[in-house]
Chains A and B, each alone.
Chain A
């Protein structure tokens, strides 16, 4: 079965501390994975996708096929990073198809 698991509902850290939001997936095939973020009173927006291998707002995520993980990391959290983060798996090919979402993790960065 295709599944995305985000084990933490809430992650609370102090400003300047490192952050790791966990994501594990189950997929038979070559996965395409995304991180989406939803700031307070804003729409869901794409943060990054694994095929781009880019860093957005200081966040990175590496696909580990052996551990079936796609954890989101940032070395020094900022207060403006406080938001809800969703890991998502594309079920389909050629850039189309539904996204399967994890339950989401609320990141709270305290001053």
Chain B
């Protein structure tokens, strides 16, 4: 299945807000409100930070927020902190064959 498209890297200074995108098609991100986001810190397993486009799991900082417009979902990290540095992946349910789950290409977040 095709991957969702994310920018390779994004950077920001501590305290700033950053937003990065996840672009799909009408068969995945555009068709459903089942986009989720995962944080993967160096050497660790991924961790869910946003599900169903805008929902934050219990225990996840409210500095993480999600949105979607058309075929593109976005993740915003507010008040950027050094501990946020890592890789971020979006994912979406798709209705290909008869179902699949696509992941994004991944965005490396750097804190300057």
Is this pair of chains taken from one and the same complex?
A: no
A residues engaging B (CB < 8 A)? none
B residues engaging A (CB < 8 A)? none
